[in-house]
Amino acid sequence: MPQALKRALQACGIVLGLLVAVVAGYAIYLQTTYYRIPDAIAVDVERNPEGAIQAGHEYRAVTFNIGFGAYTPDYTFFMDQGVMKDGTATKGERSLAVSKDVAQANTQGAVRTLVELQPDFVLMQEVDTDSTRSYQIDQKAAAESAFPQLGSAFASNFHTGYLAYPITEPHGFVNSGLLMLGAAHVDSAERRSYPVDDSFPTKFFDLDRCFLVERLPVSNGKQLVMINSHMSAFDEGGVYREKQMKLLESVLAEELAAGNYVIAGGDWNHALCNSQELYECDQKVPVWVALLDESSLPAGMTVVQADNLADVPTCRGSDIPYEKGRSYVVTVDGFFVSDNIEAQSTNIDADFEFTDHNPVLLTFKLK
């Protein structure tokens, strides 16, 4: 074998060995930094107000997924895929917000949208506290500052070591969660863990899905149980969404049996009220869209259909830049309430200006 070829093969072997060592070292790093938060963890309520919920009084609650401040209308996300009706496959590109200025503007714009709705209770999802993807902007603090009169509870549902994927724009470190703000006293708050895919390597990139449960005293001696939820999205076949729904349904049934008032809101990542094909667009229904089987909810619990459901969706596909009438849209955000609550819901048309979701406003009164 010529000496030059021998040296080239040796160099290739060294490079390959180094690559293997780097990949193996990174896998070990991910495994050693990986953990799931246990189920049924107590959550602190900061600035907890005094005063109970008043039966017969009208209140306003809003659920809003702020998309970690990344989603301007032209933003596309690398994990989102779709198909145009002509058969053209589509895929998002970005992993991080375009810039810190954009993330800051979107965060403030989403918070401003909430303030304008004058809610008594706020349920937020994808709220970052210290993440690479949102340039370390503390979105929890931004929301709390805008509502200084409201108590605050936060539950982590995404926490990772450094994610080096996608290679062209690594997702980096993520610290994100669910935020609940409220105008009434909270007796207790608890983080409940949803079942998630813990297979290799999915477990490193999936969220630590959960729902946040608050118990609020009511003037008539009962309790209002308010839940903020964010279920799985990229779940092939809906296996884990089904498991998550079963857990939530068992919790709802238990609270109903106890005679409590119950409100569950959030981003369900299920099409609500048969909205999966409700809105005109140039795209097919994406594979990630699953229809919520409302009959699976326990007796005494119903989905509150927005009074403008046919006109305003709450979520857009992020595989292509948003264009009304072209991009796929669906309603996946909203509220379930128990029958002892009078409630009316409206999808707020924010035109996906600051995130890939629109907020949903619930006006409710405890009977």
Per-residue model confidence (pLDDT) at position 244: 94
With a cut of 80, say whether residue 178 has pLDDT above it: yes
Q: How far apart are alpha carbons 302 and 306 in whole angstroms?
A: 12
Q: Name the pLDDT band for 207 (thresholds 50, 70, 90).
A: confident
Find the mean pLDDT for residues 30-53. Answer: 88
Q: Is residue 362 over pLDDT 90?
A: yes
Side-chain half-sphere exposure of 22, counting CA atoms within 13 A = 7
pLDDT at 275 over 70: yes
Higher pLDDT, 51 or 28: 51
**What stretches of the chain show up as alpha helix (H) in DSSP?**
3-33, 100-116, 139-146, 202-205, 239-257
* pLDDT at residue 203 tops 80: no
User: What pLDDT does residue 9 have?
Assistant: 64
Residue 40 has pLDDT above 70, yes or no: yes
How many angstroms separate the CA atoms of 285 and 276, rounded? 7
Peptide bond into 201 cis (omega under 30): yes
Confidence of residue 35 (pLDDT cuts 50, 70, 90): confident
Has residue 238 got a pLDDT over 80?
Answer: no
Average pLDDT value for the chain: 92
Provide the pLDDT confidence category of residue 235 given band limits of 50, 70 and 90: confident
- Note the pLDDT of residue 28: 73
Give me the mean pLDDT over the 108-129 stretch: 98
Residues 259-264: what's their mean pLDDT?
Answer: 97
Could you tell me if 314 and 305 are in contact, meaning their C-beta atoms sit under 8 angstroms apart?
no
pTM of structure = 0.94
Q: Give me the pLDDT at residue 24, please.
A: 67
